[in-house]
Amino acid sequence: MAANAEPQQTQPAKHSEVGHKSLLQSDALYQYILETSVYPREPESMKELREITAKHPWNLMTTSADEGQFLNMLLKLINAKNTMEIGVYTGYSLLATALALPDDGKILAMDINRENFEIGLPVIQKAGLAHKIDFREGPALPLLDQLVQDEKNHGTYDFIFVDADKDNYVNYHKRLIDLVKVGGLIGYDNTLWNGSVVAPADAPLRKYVRYYRDFVLELNKALAVDPRIEICMLPVGDGITLCRRVS
Ligand code: SAM
Ligand code: CA
Protein backbone atom coordinates (compact mmCIF):
# COMPACT_ATOMS: atom_id res chain seq x y z
CA MET A 1 0.00 0.00 0.00
CA ALA A 2 1.12 3.54 -0.63
CA ALA A 3 1.98 6.26 1.85
CA ASN A 4 -0.95 5.81 4.21
CA ALA A 5 -0.41 2.99 6.62
CA GLU A 6 -4.02 2.00 6.88
CA PRO A 7 -6.45 1.47 4.02
CA GLN A 8 -8.77 3.68 2.11
CA GLN A 9 -12.40 2.87 2.60
CA THR A 10 -15.26 3.88 0.36
CA GLN A 11 -18.10 2.32 2.38
CA PRO A 12 -19.93 4.25 5.12
CA ALA A 13 -18.27 4.23 8.51
CA LYS A 14 -19.70 1.06 10.09
CA HIS A 15 -16.36 0.55 11.82
CA SER A 16 -16.68 3.74 13.82
CA GLU A 17 -18.75 1.92 16.42
CA VAL A 18 -18.13 -1.78 15.99
CA GLY A 19 -15.97 -4.29 14.21
CA HIS A 20 -12.55 -3.21 13.08
CA LYS A 21 -11.96 -0.81 15.95
CA SER A 22 -12.33 -3.47 18.57
CA LEU A 23 -10.87 -6.91 19.03
CA LEU A 24 -13.44 -7.71 21.73
CA GLN A 25 -15.31 -10.93 20.97
CA SER A 26 -18.70 -9.26 20.91
CA ASP A 27 -19.64 -6.08 19.11
CA ALA A 28 -22.40 -5.60 21.68
CA LEU A 29 -19.83 -5.49 24.47
CA TYR A 30 -17.79 -2.88 22.65
CA GLN A 31 -20.94 -0.86 21.97
CA TYR A 32 -21.73 -1.09 25.68
CA ILE A 33 -18.33 0.41 26.56
CA LEU A 34 -18.82 3.25 24.09
CA GLU A 35 -22.36 4.07 25.13
CA THR A 36 -21.86 3.67 28.89
CA SER A 37 -18.55 5.34 29.52
CA VAL A 38 -17.04 6.86 26.40
CA TYR A 39 -19.62 8.87 24.44
CA PRO A 40 -21.33 10.41 27.50
CA ARG A 41 -17.96 11.77 28.68
CA GLU A 42 -16.41 12.66 25.31
CA PRO A 43 -15.41 16.34 25.14
CA GLU A 44 -17.51 18.33 22.66
CA SER A 45 -14.48 19.07 20.45
CA MET A 46 -13.58 15.39 20.17
CA LYS A 47 -17.17 14.50 19.29
CA GLU A 48 -17.16 17.19 16.60
CA LEU A 49 -13.88 15.95 15.11
CA ARG A 50 -15.03 12.33 15.27
CA GLU A 51 -18.18 13.22 13.33
CA ILE A 52 -16.26 15.23 10.72
CA THR A 53 -13.75 12.38 10.31
CA ALA A 54 -16.52 9.79 9.92
CA LYS A 55 -17.45 11.49 6.62
CA HIS A 56 -13.90 11.24 5.24
CA PRO A 57 -13.14 8.39 2.82
CA TRP A 58 -10.11 7.18 4.83
CA ASN A 59 -11.97 7.20 8.16
CA LEU A 60 -10.81 3.68 8.93
CA MET A 61 -7.50 5.24 9.99
CA THR A 62 -8.88 7.31 12.85
CA THR A 63 -8.24 6.49 16.51
CA SER A 64 -11.39 5.12 18.15
CA ALA A 65 -13.24 7.10 20.81
CA ASP A 66 -12.38 4.61 23.58
CA GLU A 67 -8.69 4.74 22.69
CA GLY A 68 -8.86 8.55 22.60
CA GLN A 69 -10.32 8.50 26.11
CA PHE A 70 -7.58 6.11 27.24
CA LEU A 71 -4.77 8.28 25.80
CA ASN A 72 -6.25 11.39 27.37
CA MET A 73 -6.32 9.81 30.83
CA LEU A 74 -2.88 8.23 30.45
CA LEU A 75 -1.30 11.59 29.58
CA LYS A 76 -2.88 13.20 32.62
CA LEU A 77 -1.73 10.35 34.88
CA ILE A 78 1.89 10.77 33.81
CA ASN A 79 1.70 14.60 33.86
CA ALA A 80 2.93 14.72 30.28
CA LYS A 81 4.10 18.08 29.03
CA ASN A 82 6.44 17.51 26.10
CA THR A 83 5.06 14.97 23.62
CA MET A 84 5.37 13.75 20.06
CA GLU A 85 2.95 12.12 17.63
CA ILE A 86 3.90 10.29 14.46
CA GLY A 87 0.82 9.86 12.25
CA VAL A 88 -1.83 12.54 12.69
CA TYR A 89 -4.47 11.98 9.96
CA THR A 90 -7.37 14.34 10.91
CA GLY A 91 -6.08 14.72 14.47
CA TYR A 92 -8.35 12.74 16.80
CA SER A 93 -5.49 11.35 18.95
CA LEU A 94 -3.73 14.71 18.61
CA LEU A 95 -6.78 16.46 20.05
CA ALA A 96 -7.07 13.87 22.85
CA THR A 97 -3.42 14.67 23.65
CA ALA A 98 -3.76 18.44 23.38
CA LEU A 99 -6.73 18.40 25.75
CA ALA A 100 -4.71 16.47 28.35
CA LEU A 101 -1.60 18.68 28.36
CA PRO A 102 -1.14 21.80 30.48
CA ASP A 103 -1.44 25.14 28.71
CA ASP A 104 2.33 25.28 28.08
CA GLY A 105 2.44 21.66 26.91
CA LYS A 106 3.81 20.79 23.46
CA ILE A 107 3.14 18.21 20.78
CA LEU A 108 5.56 17.77 17.91
CA ALA A 109 3.23 16.24 15.33
CA MET A 110 4.39 14.68 12.06
CA ASP A 111 2.55 13.45 9.02
CA ILE A 112 3.27 13.23 5.31
CA ASN A 113 -0.22 14.59 4.68
CA ARG A 114 -1.03 18.15 5.78
CA GLU A 115 -4.40 18.20 4.01
CA ASN A 116 -5.95 15.71 6.44
CA PHE A 117 -4.48 17.53 9.44
CA GLU A 118 -6.16 20.68 8.13
CA ILE A 119 -9.56 18.96 8.22
CA GLY A 120 -9.31 18.77 12.00
CA LEU A 121 -7.34 21.94 12.60
CA PRO A 122 -10.37 24.30 12.84
CA VAL A 123 -11.80 22.15 15.64
CA ILE A 124 -8.45 22.25 17.46
CA GLN A 125 -8.27 26.03 16.98
CA LYS A 126 -11.84 26.52 18.20
CA ALA A 127 -10.95 24.56 21.35
CA GLY A 128 -8.03 26.98 21.94
CA LEU A 129 -5.39 24.26 21.67
CA ALA A 130 -3.52 25.05 18.44
CA HIS A 131 -0.67 26.79 20.28
CA LYS A 132 0.38 23.42 21.76
CA ILE A 133 0.91 21.85 18.33
CA ASP A 134 3.99 22.08 16.14
CA PHE A 135 2.94 20.26 12.94
CA ARG A 136 5.65 19.14 10.52
CA GLU A 137 4.69 17.87 7.10
CA GLY A 138 6.90 15.10 5.76
CA PRO A 139 8.19 11.62 6.46
CA ALA A 140 8.99 11.13 10.12
CA LEU A 141 12.26 9.25 9.81
CA PRO A 142 14.49 12.10 8.50
CA LEU A 143 12.98 14.44 11.06
CA LEU A 144 13.74 12.00 13.86
CA ASP A 145 17.31 11.70 12.55
CA GLN A 146 17.64 15.48 12.80
CA LEU A 147 16.29 15.47 16.34
CA VAL A 148 18.62 12.65 17.42
CA GLN A 149 21.65 14.45 15.98
CA ASP A 150 21.21 17.23 18.51
CA GLU A 151 21.96 15.84 21.95
CA LYS A 152 19.86 18.58 23.52
CA ASN A 153 16.79 16.63 22.40
CA HIS A 154 17.83 13.41 24.08
CA GLY A 155 15.64 12.28 26.96
CA THR A 156 13.24 15.21 26.57
CA TYR A 157 9.88 13.61 25.65
CA ASP A 158 7.38 12.47 28.28
CA PHE A 159 5.21 10.63 25.77
CA ILE A 160 5.46 9.62 22.11
CA PHE A 161 2.51 8.14 20.20
CA VAL A 162 3.43 6.19 17.07
CA ASP A 163 0.52 5.59 14.68
CA ALA A 164 1.92 5.76 11.14
CA ASP A 165 3.67 3.46 8.64
CA LYS A 166 3.98 0.12 10.42
CA ASP A 167 6.93 -0.96 8.25
CA ASN A 168 9.00 1.76 9.92
CA TYR A 169 8.15 1.16 13.58
CA VAL A 170 11.40 -0.70 14.27
CA ASN A 171 13.32 2.17 12.65
CA TYR A 172 11.34 4.69 14.72
CA HIS A 173 12.08 2.76 17.89
CA LYS A 174 15.86 2.97 17.28
CA ARG A 175 15.57 6.77 17.34
CA LEU A 176 12.75 7.29 19.82
CA ILE A 177 14.49 5.38 22.57
CA ASP A 178 17.05 8.20 22.71
CA LEU A 179 14.45 10.96 22.56
CA VAL A 180 12.04 9.73 25.25
CA LYS A 181 12.90 10.44 28.90
CA VAL A 182 13.97 7.67 31.21
CA GLY A 183 10.62 7.00 32.91
CA GLY A 184 8.73 8.32 29.86
CA LEU A 185 6.45 6.35 27.54
CA ILE A 186 6.33 5.40 23.88
CA GLY A 187 2.98 4.03 22.67
CA TYR A 188 3.05 1.92 19.52
CA ASP A 189 -0.42 1.63 18.01
CA ASN A 190 -2.02 -1.28 16.11
CA THR A 191 0.29 -3.90 17.58
CA LEU A 192 -2.43 -6.58 17.36
CA TRP A 193 -2.97 -5.63 13.72
CA ASN A 194 -6.59 -6.64 13.20
CA GLY A 195 -5.93 -9.81 15.18
CA SER A 196 -3.76 -11.01 12.29
CA VAL A 197 -0.72 -11.52 14.55
CA VAL A 198 -2.16 -14.93 15.45
CA ALA A 199 -3.60 -15.82 12.02
CA PRO A 200 -2.22 -18.98 10.36
CA ALA A 201 0.23 -18.33 7.52
CA ASP A 202 -2.38 -19.30 4.89
CA ALA A 203 -5.31 -17.36 6.42
CA PRO A 204 -7.26 -15.20 3.96
CA LEU A 205 -6.21 -11.68 4.97
CA ARG A 206 -6.86 -8.37 3.28
CA LYS A 207 -3.83 -7.37 1.24
CA TYR A 208 -2.72 -4.46 3.42
CA VAL A 209 -3.19 -6.54 6.58
CA ARG A 210 -1.00 -9.31 5.16
CA TYR A 211 1.64 -6.85 3.94
CA TYR A 212 2.13 -5.09 7.29
CA ARG A 213 1.63 -8.13 9.52
CA ASP A 214 5.26 -9.28 9.34
CA PHE A 215 6.48 -5.81 10.31
CA VAL A 216 4.14 -5.76 13.31
CA LEU A 217 5.28 -9.25 14.34
CA GLU A 218 8.90 -8.14 14.03
CA LEU A 219 8.24 -5.07 16.18
CA ASN A 220 6.43 -7.07 18.85
CA LYS A 221 9.34 -9.51 19.08
CA ALA A 222 11.90 -6.71 19.25
CA LEU A 223 10.02 -4.83 21.99
CA ALA A 224 9.57 -8.01 24.04
CA VAL A 225 13.35 -8.49 24.36
CA ASP A 226 14.49 -4.86 24.58
CA PRO A 227 16.11 -4.42 28.02
CA ARG A 228 15.87 -0.61 27.82
CA ILE A 229 12.09 -0.70 28.26
CA GLU A 230 9.30 -2.24 30.28
CA ILE A 231 6.28 -3.06 28.16
CA CYS A 232 2.56 -3.54 28.44
CA MET A 233 0.46 -4.61 25.46
CA LEU A 234 -3.14 -3.52 25.85
CA PRO A 235 -6.12 -4.77 23.80
CA VAL A 236 -7.48 -1.25 23.38
CA GLY A 237 -8.51 -0.34 19.83
CA ASP A 238 -6.32 -2.44 17.54
CA GLY A 239 -3.78 -3.04 20.31
CA ILE A 240 -1.39 -0.52 21.81
CA THR A 241 1.99 -1.42 23.31
CA LEU A 242 3.19 0.96 25.98
CA CYS A 243 6.95 1.06 26.45
CA ARG A 244 8.39 2.72 29.54
CA ARG A 245 12.03 3.61 29.13
CA VAL A 246 14.04 2.32 32.06
CA SER A 247 17.62 2.94 30.89
N1 SAM B 1 -3.35 9.06 14.95
C2 SAM B 1 -4.28 9.33 13.87
C3 SAM B 1 -5.68 9.58 14.41
O4 SAM B 1 -5.91 9.57 15.61
O5 SAM B 1 -6.58 9.79 13.59
C6 SAM B 1 -4.31 8.24 12.83
C7 SAM B 1 -3.06 8.13 12.01
S8 SAM B 1 -3.27 7.16 10.56
C9 SAM B 1 -3.54 5.58 11.20
C10 SAM B 1 -1.64 7.02 9.89
C11 SAM B 1 -1.06 8.31 9.40
O12 SAM B 1 0.34 8.10 9.17
C13 SAM B 1 -1.62 8.81 8.08
O14 SAM B 1 -2.19 10.09 8.27
C15 SAM B 1 -0.43 8.87 7.15
O16 SAM B 1 -0.44 9.98 6.28
C17 SAM B 1 0.73 8.94 8.12
N18 SAM B 1 2.01 8.45 7.60
C19 SAM B 1 2.23 7.41 6.77
N20 SAM B 1 3.54 7.28 6.51
C21 SAM B 1 4.17 8.26 7.22
C22 SAM B 1 5.53 8.65 7.39
N23 SAM B 1 6.51 8.00 6.77
N24 SAM B 1 5.82 9.69 8.20
C25 SAM B 1 4.82 10.37 8.83
N26 SAM B 1 3.52 10.05 8.69
C27 SAM B 1 3.20 9.02 7.92
CA1 CA C 1 -3.98 3.44 14.79
pLDDT by residue (tens digit) across 65-87? 999 999 999 999 999 999 999 99
Confidence bin at 8 (pLDDT 50/70/90): very low
Distance of CA 199 from the midpoint of ligand 1 (Å): 25
Task: Indicate if ligand 1 lies below 6 Å from the C-beta of 116.
Answer: yes
Q: Where are the beta strands (DSSP E) in 93-228?
A: 106-111, 133-137, 157-162, 180-189
Ligand 1 contact, 144 CB (< 6 A): no
Residue 226 burial (CB count, 10 A) = 15
Sign, CA dihedral 8-14-17-19, equals: negative
SS3 219: helix
Alpha helical stretches, state H, 42-113: 44-54, 65-77, 92-100
Q: Which ligand minimizes its atom distance to the CA of 139? A: 1
Residue 170 has pLDDT above 80, yes or no: yes
C-beta atoms surrounding 151 within 10 Å? 8
CATH topology of domain 24-245: Rossmann fold (3.40.50)
The domain limits of the chain are: 24-245
| Secondary element (H or E) of residue 123 | helix 114-126
Pocket test of ligand 1: the residue of 8, 90, 124, 165 to mutate, having most ligand atoms within 8 Å of its CB, is: 165
Average pLDDT, the chain: 92
Q: Tell me which residue has its CA closest to atom 26 in ligand 1.
A: 111
Could you report the per-residue pLDDT of 130-153, keeping only the tens digit for each?
A: 999 999 999 999 999 999 999 999
Give the pLDDT band of residue 22 (cuts 50, 70, 90): confident
Cα-to-centroid distance, 222 and ligand 2 (Å): 19
User: Residue 12 above 50 pLDDT?
Assistant: no
Residue 104: per-residue pLDDT: 98
How much helix, strand and coil, in percent to the nearest 5, is found in the chain? 50, 20, 30
| Residue-wise burial string across 31-41, b where 16 or more C-beta atoms lie within 10 A, e elsewhere | eeebeeebeee
Q: What ipTM was estimated for this complex? A: 1.00
